[in-house]
Chain A
C-alpha cells in the first residue's frame, strides 16, 4: 500500500498505482513525465517545502497510474532539500514502482543514483532515455546485458520522439502487479562494514518491521545520517534516538569499522563502492564507437563560452529576444486592446439597457473591467512571445553557458552564478524570475537572487522606460530621437545589472552574511529543442500562470483605482488628496505626488503606471492613453515636468517595489513575510536614494 498521500499526492482510489519518477538533472526526466501524462498534470509544492512538485495521471490497461515527478538529483544522500524529498518519497511514500530516468549519453554517472535507489526498494525500473542522442553520438548500450547486471527491468526510450514509452508503461504495469519481480543487484561493501551493518540490521528489523529496507537503514544509521532519523520520526512515528539499546549497538557497530579507506571516511567508502559498481557495469554495457563523440558540443562551447565572444554573443542573443518580444507584441497587444474596448462598449450598452445605476456600471466596467483588460492586453502578448523564446534557449542547453560566462561577476558579489539566469528570466517577468530562483540550491544565494530580481526591468517596465525616454529625448529630431530612446533603455538595463550586483554584495555583508557557497555547474550536452512542446509548456507553465496571478491582483486594484479617482472630499478626488499629501516628499526626490500615486496604484502591474498618471493629470475618472508622445509630453510639461522629472521617473521605475504578482510569488517562494517585506523595502529604498542623489546633484550643480 502506497503512502504517497503523506506527501500531498492526491490519490483517487485505492487501486491507483503510484509511480515515482527519479533521475539526475538534465536527463529528459520531465520529457518522460510530460509524454506519459500529457496535460493531465498538477503542479504545486511539496508540503511545507519550497520545492516544486508535479503529479500526473495516465491510464494503461484500464488501470489508473499516478506519476510523481521527484526533484532531479545526483544522489539520495540528502545533501539538499531536493535529495531529502526524493529519498523520503521513495523510502516512506512507498510508490508501487520507482522509474529511474537515466541519460544514455552519460550512463555511468546516472547509475550512481539508480544503485542508491536499488538499495532502498526492489520495485525499480530503469528507463534509459535519450537513446536517439546516444545513437547520434555513436554510443551503444546493451540494454539486455544492463538488465542482467542490475537484476531489474531496463527500458530504452527517446521520450521526445515518443519511442519506448509503450514498453515503459507495460513494464511499469508488470512490476506494479508483481508479474515481474525485480531482484536488484546488491552492492558489496568491505567485510568490516558488512559485518557492522549485519550486527544492527536485526535490531532495526525488530523496531521498524518491514516498513523500510533494513540493511539500507542500518547503513545510513552507521554513517550517522541524522536526517533519516528525523524522517523516521515524521513518517513512522519512531524516535530511534530515544532507543538506548539501538544507540549502544550503533556505537559497537561503528567501533567494528575504524578507518579503512583513503579519505578516512565512511561516507567515502560507501559512495566509492557505488561509483565503482557503476563504473564496472557501464564498462561492460556501453560501447563508444567514436571517441570524439562530443566534439560538436566542444566546438559550440568554444564559440559560446569563448573568452572573447562569449559575453557579446550572450548580449546579442538577449537583445534579439527582447527585440522580437517588443516588436512582435505590438500588433497582438493592439488587437487585444481593441477587442477588449469593443467588448467594453457592448458591456456599457448592456448595462444601460438593463437600467443599472450608473455608478455600478462605472465601478464594474470603467474600474474593474478596464483595469483587467489593460493588464491582459499589455501583459499577455509579450509574455507569450518572451517565455517560449526563453524556454527555447533553456531547452538548447544554452543557459548554463551564460552562468559559466558570468559567474565571475556574481562571485565578486558573493552571489551564485546561476543568478545570471534568474535575471534573464526577470527581463521577461520578475515573478517568473523569482520562481526560476529555485535552480539556486543554496538558501542564502537564492534569497539574494529573489530580493534583487526586481532590479532588472521586466517587460512591463520597458514600455514606461521607452515612453519616458522618448519624451525626454524628443527635443532631438528624427532618427536621432529613437536612438536616444534605445540608448536610455540600454542604460537602464546596464544600470539594473550594476545595481543588482552592488545590492547583492551589500546583502551578503549585512542581512545575508556569508561567503559564496560552493558552486558546481553542469554544462549538459546541447540538445535539439522540441519546438511544439516548448510553446505548449511555456504558455501553460509560465504565461498563463503569471497572468492568472496578475489578473487576481488587478481586479481589486481596478476597483481601488476607480474609487480613488471618483470619490471626492470637498470636490477634490481622493487620488488628488493623496497626491498632494505625497507631493512634498516626491518633489524632494525629483518626482511629483501624482507620479508617486501612479506607482502606488500601479502595484498590480507596472504597465498601468502611465495610464494612471495620464488619468490623474487630466483629472479623469478612468485610465486612458494618449495617441502620441508629443501629446503626452505636452500634458506632462503642463504639469510641471522637466527633463529631471523624466530621468527620475525612469530611475524610480527601475528601482521601486516589485509589482503585486511578484510580491505574491516571493511570499509563496520564501514562505516568509519577513523576506517578502525585505524584497519590498530593498528596491524601494534604493530607488528613493538614487532619485534623491540624482535630483540634488542636478539641482546643486544648477544644471536645471
Chain B
C-alpha cells in the first residue's frame, strides 16, 4: 500500500481510494462534508465525461460527479 497522497482527480477510473484530507474551503467544503466525504471515507472513481473534466465517484452508496477543480481538493490514499 502506498502512503503517498493523490488528489481525487488523479485516481484512475476503476480505482478505489480513502479520503485523507480536504483542502476545499467554504461552501464546497461544507457540501463535501454533507455528502459524507470525511476522513476514512472510501471513494471509487467510476467514469469520466468525454471532455475529461468531470468525473463520477461512488461515495457512500451514491454516485456524485465532481469537476476537476473540486476533485483536486480531496486528497486520497489510493488502495486499489
Contact = CB atoms under 8 A, between A and B. Distances in A.
B59 to A, nearest CB: 8
B49 A109 contact: no
Contact of B53 (A267, A411, A525): A411
Contacts of A109: 35-36, 59-62
Given A112-B36, A275-B38, A298-B46, A521 B54 contact: yes
A523 B56 contact: yes
A529 interface: no
B66 to A, nearest CB: 6
Contacts of B32: 520
B56 A112 contact: no
Interface residues of A, number: 46
A520 B63 contact: no
Contact of A520 (B38, B48, B61, B66): B66
6 contacts: A107-B61, A262-B21, A268-B33, A272-B33, A276-B38, A297-B63
Contacts of B70: 518-520
A409 B51 CA distance: 9
B62 A408 contact: no
Interface string A111-125: 010000000000000
Contacts of A308: 50
Contacts of A524: 62-63
Contacts of B69: 516, 518
Contact of B31 (A74, A105, A279): A74
A405 interface: yes
A334 interface: no
Contacts of B54: 404, 407-408, 417, 519, 521
A396 interface: no
Contact of A523 (B53, B63, B67): B63
Lowest 8 A-B CB distances belong to which pairs? Answer: A408-B51, A518-B28, A75-B34, A307-B50, A271-B33, A523-B63, A521-B65, A74-B34
Contact of A404 (B35, B60, B65): B65
Contacts of B56: 301, 305, 404, 523
B22 interface: yes
Interface string B36-58: 10110100001111111110100
A479 B35 CA distance: 55
Contacts of A106: 60-62
Given A307-B49, A407-B54, A77 B38 contact: no
Interface residues of B, number: 35
A77 B35 CA distance: 12
Nearest to A286: B61
Interface string A386-414: 00000000000000000011011101000
Contacts, number: 123
Contacts of A279: 36, 60
Contacts of B49: 305, 307, 310, 404-405, 407-408
Interface in A43-77: 74-75, 77
A310 B50 contact: yes
Nearest to A270: B33
Contacts of B62: 106, 109, 522, 524
B64 interface: yes
A409 B54 CA distance: 11
Contacts of A276: 38
B63 A408 contact: no
Contacts of A11: none
- Could you tell me the dominant secondary structure of chain B's interface residues? mixed
Given A262-B39, A275-B36, A522-B62, 4 more contacts: A79-B34, A263-B39, A407-B51, A522-B65
A408 B27 contact: no
A353 to B, nearest CB: 67
Nearest to A442: B27
A77 B30 contact: yes
A108 interface: yes
A263 B20 CA distance: 10
Contacts of B36: 108-109, 112, 275, 278-279
A405 B63 contact: no
Contacts of A108: 36, 60-61
B33 to A, nearest CB: 4
B39 A305 contact: no
B74 to A, nearest CB: 11
A311 interface: yes
Nearest to A311: B50
Contact of A522 (B33, B39, B48, B64): B64
A77 B36 CA distance: 13
Q: Which of B46, B50, B70 gathers most chain A CB within 10 Å? A: B50
Most buried by B among A302, A404, A518: A518
Given A301-B47, A417-B54, A520 B21 contact: no
B47 A105 contact: no
Nearest to B65: A521
A321 to B, nearest CB: 22
Contacts of A297: 63
Nearest to B37: A275
Interface string A516-555: 1111111111000000000000000000000000000000
Contact of A521 (B27, B51, B64): B64
Contacts of B47: 301-302, 305
B64 A523 contact: yes
Contacts of B46: 298, 301
B42 to A, nearest CB: 10
A659 B74 CA distance: 45
Nearest to B61: A106
A38 to B, nearest CB: 30
A299 to B, nearest CB: 12
B39 to A, nearest CB: 5
A139 to B, nearest CB: 9
Contacts of B28: 518, 520
A272 B31 contact: no
A522 B63 contact: yes
A523 to B, nearest CB: 4
A525 B67 CA distance: 20
Interface in A247-288: 262-263, 267-268, 271-272, 275-276, 278-279
Nearest to A293: B61
